[in-house]
């Protein structure tokens, strides 16, 4: 039995934050109804990759959900959402700040209508504090939260991270909050409001950088390239090979001694590099020694030698290599799907429970594909009322 079987979730979200949160809930067995504005989720409207009006991005985080089209600017549309929410356990929303309140669907209103409801709000900066209410996206949060200042090399400009780390970190936090609220309700019968701000969720990832700043009294460069964020571990870098790059780190002196045994380089064996603080002080020299060794060998050769010596290391892979990686395929987090419409990609789930198998994703339908079925099956609306709602543009 899936762990969230019987849990009903309504999502009023867009982009990655809310949709990835509800995707994880769907993989755990929850029934998720995604409410889209008349024009659809912005990520639905990117490149039509599958010939069904959906993009790769949209399917990756929305497969496995029922999708309905609802105009919340119309009273009839808001009434339908209220009826759906009252028939659900969880509402997840990451609309612009204040949008739900402007629709008359803020927490106080929804809680009064259904005290058992759990409302989960994904925000940029939260509901209080000097920046509360400001709009935010992954890029702007990275800018405001020192992610960009600590990414890149010291002699270059600030750089955003390659992946959208902020949205996905925050979505995972929001899932944890929802699961805690469901457990609380199981014991008390009471729902509650769960809030996760993008900024709050990403700041803990700066632990090494903050420590380095404090320990150096602010003298350490903010951008450390591929080196440890606090410049506290050496070697810790990406090193060139004869066919690419490999990442190597030695978090302890024992790791370094084993690496010295592999490199067989008199300079590496020098007493002045025996202890971690001394290696940190001679970081450039240590990197030069390790790089001199890796440049004459292939990634595969290095991987095997380092693995045998129990030294943390990994080849730097490309996106193409990642998507064909047999381990990624075996774990099932990136799934190459096929149905009667053709090939498509979906995310599995990184949450693996021994007694609750993951619910397999199915392709999300075209905009509004499940509207009639949801209104009929979930709310019991007769065909005539559904037709009336459609005639006004509410659905």
Q: In angstroms, rounded to a whole number, what is the distance separating the alpha carbons of residues 384 and 270?
A: 85
Non-local (6+) Cβ contacts of 311 within 8 A are: 248, 250, 255, 258, 259, 262
Closest CA to 90 of 225, 205, 188, 180: 180
Q: In angstroms, rounded to a whole number, what is the distance separating the alpha carbons of residues 3 and 174?
A: 17
Q: In angstroms, rounded to a whole number, what is the distance separating the alpha carbons of residues 69 and 394?
A: 8
Distance of alpha carbon 304 from the chain centroid: 31
Give φ, ψ of 147 to 5 degrees: -65, -45
Residues 199/125, Cβ–Cβ less than 8 Å: yes
Structure tokens at 123: 């925000």
167 is catalytic: yes
Give φ, ψ of 372 to 5 degrees: -60, -45
Closest CA to 364 of 109, 28, 8, 36: 36
User: Pick the catalytic residue: 71, 89, 138, 167?
Assistant: 167
C-alpha to C-alpha distances, 290 to 248, 264, 267, nearest whole angstrom: 9, 11, 10
Structure tokens at 285: 């020299």
Give the full edge-to-edge strand order of the sheet including 118-123: 66-69, 31-36, 8-12, 90-93, 118-123, 193-197
Give the full edge-to-edge strand order of the sheet including 236-241: 236-241, 244-249, 313-315
Non-local (6+) Cβ contacts of 222 within 8 A are: 146, 149, 150, 154, 209, 213
Q: In angstroms, rounded to a whole number, what is the distance separating the alpha carbons of residues 107 and 245?
A: 50
Token pair 């080849």 is at which residue?
A: 315
Q: In angstroms, rounded to a whole number, what is the distance separating the alpha carbons of residues 87 and 111?
A: 13
Active site residues: 167
């Amino acid at each position: 039995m899936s762990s969230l079987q019987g849990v009903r979730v309504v999502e009023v979200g867009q982009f990655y934050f809310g949709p990835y949160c509800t995707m994880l809930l769907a993989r755990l067995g929850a029934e998720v109804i995604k409410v889209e504005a008349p024009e659809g989720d912005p990520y639905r409207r990117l490149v039509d990759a599958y010939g069904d009006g959906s993009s790769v991005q949209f399917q990756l985080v929305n497969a496995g959900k029922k999708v309905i089209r609802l105009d919340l600017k119309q009273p009839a549309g808001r009434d339908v959402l209220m009826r759906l929410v009252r028939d659900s356990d969880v509402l997840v929303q990451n609309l612009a700040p204040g949008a739900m309140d402007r629709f008359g669907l803020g927490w106080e209103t929804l809680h009064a209508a259904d005290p058992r409801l759990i409302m989960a709000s994904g925000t940029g900066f939260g509901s209080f504090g000097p920046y509360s209410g400001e709009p935010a996206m992954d890029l702007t949060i990275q800018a405001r939260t020192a992610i960009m200042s600590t990414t890149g090399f010291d002699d270059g400009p600030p750089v955003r991270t390659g992946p959208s780390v902020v949205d996905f970190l925050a979505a995972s936090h929001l899932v944890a909050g929802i699961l805690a609220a469901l457990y609380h309700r199981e014991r008390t019968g009471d729902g509650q409001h769960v809030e996760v701000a993008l900024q709050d969720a990403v700041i803990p990832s700066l632990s090494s950088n903050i420590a380095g700043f404090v320990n150096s009294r602010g003298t350490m460069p903010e951008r450390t390239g591929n080196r440890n964020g606090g410049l506290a571990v050496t070697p810790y870098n990406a090193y060139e090979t004869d066919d690419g790059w490999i990442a190597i780190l030695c978090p302890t002196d024992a790791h370094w001694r084993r690496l010295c045994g592999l490199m067989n380089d008199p300079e590496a064996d020098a007493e002045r590099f025996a202890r971690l603080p001394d290696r940190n002080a001679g970081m450039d020299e240590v990197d030069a020694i390790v790089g001199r060794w890796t440049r004459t060998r292939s990634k595969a050769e290095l991987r095997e030698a380092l693995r045998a010596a129990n030294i943390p290391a990994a080849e730097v892979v490309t996106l193409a290599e990642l998507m064909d990686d047999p381990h990624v395929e075996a774990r099932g987090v990136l799934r190459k799907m096929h149905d009667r419409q053709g090939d498509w990609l979906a995310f599995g789930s990184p949450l693996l429970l021994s007694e609750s198998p993951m619910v397999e994703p199915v392709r999300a339908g075209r905009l509004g594909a499940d509207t009639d079925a949801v209104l009929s099956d979930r709310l019991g609306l007769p065909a005539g009322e559904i037709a009336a709602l459609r005639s006004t543009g509410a659905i």
